[in-house]
Amino acid sequence: MHNNIKTKISLFICLIICFTWHAAAQISAEIPIADYIFETIEVPGVDFLEVAASNDFGDYAGNTRSSDGEKTIGFTLIDGVFKTYDFPGALKTNFYALDNAGKAAGHYKGTDGLYHGVIMEDGELTQYDFPDAVQTFIFGISDETGALSGNIVDESGVTRAFSGELTITFPGAVKTYGDFVNAAGVVVGSYVDADGMPHGFMRNPDGSFITIDIPATPELRFLFVNAINDVGVIVFRAMAVDDIQRSYILLPGGTFQELRVPDSVNTVVRNINQDGSIIGYYDLTDDRRLGFVGRPKMQPNGGDFGSIFSMHLSKGLNMLSVPLKPTVHMTARSLALKTGATAVIALDAAKQNFIGWTPNAPNDGFPIEGAKGYIVNLPKARDIVFTGTGWTNQMQVATAPSTITPLTRGIVQETWAFVVSGQLEGKQKFEGYQITVRNLRTNNVMVAEVRDNYFAAATADLTYRSVVQVGDTLELSVIDTNGNIASEKFNFKVTPASLTNAVLSVNLNGIGTPKRNLLLQNYPNPFNPETWIPYHLSDAGPVSISIYDTTGGLVRTLSLGFQSAGFYHSRGQAAYWDGRNALGERVASGVYFYQLTTRSFQQIRRMIILK
């Protein structure tokens, strides 16, 4: 089933009305049925599709059956392509999490009966075991931090929740299960108390807990809290004795609603998105299990779902401003994760130049603020949902997001915004170094400061005129914190692929060490009465510069002593000659020659004195 199968999504729309199921032990006849429109997620030829996770871009992950029907294996449904995954030697493999980068996670059961975490990234499965845990169960991935969430079993058999590196035990609980963490750092999960009763919980970032129970709860077999979105809407499922499994939504105002796909035997909700839509699966009477997306029939705006703003971003470059203040502080990284951007560009108003950020950065980049515009480049068109509250204390109200893309003719040959990003390779830290990028065709210059050995130089034209085109040569120079040249110049060509991503990614090697010895032209030249002589040393050693007249007579020797390998360009580093001979007399106007001498290298150049 690893074929490129296009998703078949059959849409059935139904008005869900409140009614009471006649079950032997109803959880609560007073809980209303939520008013949702459901879309079935189907893959042709697949009758068992447990959709357990989704990301912001309409991709899915979950569980299905192996081709022989003998065991459960994980699947992803990304960009309409269905793929299955089975950890080698596993009795079964389950996926329960999917992030915006397409990374899935879950756990597998080994032949020893123990469970281990499993992560799928770029099509490859790797095992993840929480430190010192005997068993690891993964149920969530944070888009903001990449942190995994779930629960573990230690050597003594105690079950605890985890999120990132944090372990969580509900006070007095016999078992604590973790499931998901939202952008604000609120962890949701479930616990079993000393009497054996199941409950849900929320753990706030300050360490406090809130218990989640269903009103008028009869005896429960289980209650599992599965997800919480950034505005605090929770989905969970529970099963009472002598009843079917049921799913619920809990709004921040305390309102409970049951979630039910019409004509299904039972409905299992596993995830909730920022716009209030829900993800899960349901069973039919013919034993088929299918996935679904459920959307509120009335698009929530304010109230229990919080403020919501939906927008469409086009493929390529888009200009936007964030319309709502997010629940937690947003950065270039979180904006890129939310939109799937290959690059984020902002205007530094203080310096009046553009700054860039790319997803391979080791940091989170610049803050995202209200009433400011940002440029994002998307590999494909996407619908994005922003949640939060109104911006306050802003110079102006943040404008609604807008998308602007330049007209293109076939393959993209030019662009109006561009980032050159990369890493400075080496053992040392290059913090504070400056990268200068010059387009040799246009002479346009981009500048960026190195942070954590990473840089992102950006340029843009807000009138949407071309700043870079295919075939341009970009020349990169590195300057250290003292203003000295720290590398050879690097030249890179702009390709169609880099224009598509609006990013040219590079690695700069050999910083601080020239590839070869080199004597450069003195400056100024002609000169009177003094000049500086720059040079490169690829190896450390004694260095001298000898000056000769046109007859070959030695005028002066500048003994520079033992020099480390490096670039000697600036006036503080280059060799200095004051235009005098060995006796201290000023030499006459004319042509002179200067020679750099090391243990293994000599080179001569010409200079002129004019008086």
Going by their DSSP bridges, the two strands 518-519 and 503-508 should be labelled as unpaired
pTM: 0.73
- The dihedral region occupied by 45, where left means phi > 0, alpha psi between -120 and 50, and beta the remainder, is left
Does 307-508 match 518-609 in CATH topology? Answer: yes
| AA identity, residue 6 | K
- The amino acid present at 194, given as its one-letter code, is A
3.40.190.10, 3.40.630.30, 3.60.20.10, 2.60.40.10: which CATH number matches 307-508?
2.60.40.10
Regions of the chain where pLDDT drops below 50: 1-29, 300-303, 395-403, 405-409
**pLDDT score recorded for residue 21:** 27
- Beta strand extents in 338-453 (DSSP E only): 343-348, 353-357, 374-378, 382-388, 414-415, 417-424, 434-439, 445-449
Residues 306, 310, 316, 319, Cα dihedral to 10°:
-70
**pLDDT of res. 255:** 87
Sequence letter at residue 220: L
Tell me how far CA of residue 518 lies from CA of 534, 539, 566, 594, 604, in angstroms: 9, 11, 11, 13, 10
Amino acid letter at 112?
D
Using the 8-state DSSP alphabet, how is residue 27 labeled? S
CA–CA separation, 15 vs 36, rounded Å? 7
Beta strand pairing status for 554-563 and 535-537? unpaired
Q: What is the CATH architecture assignment of 518-609?
A: Sandwich (2.60)
Domain regions of the chain by residue span: 307-508, 518-609
Identify the pLDDT of residue 59. 93
Q: What pLDDT does 393 receive?
A: 57
- Tell me whether strands 245-250 and 256-259 are parallel, antiparallel or unpaired: antiparallel
CA distance 155 to 543: 65
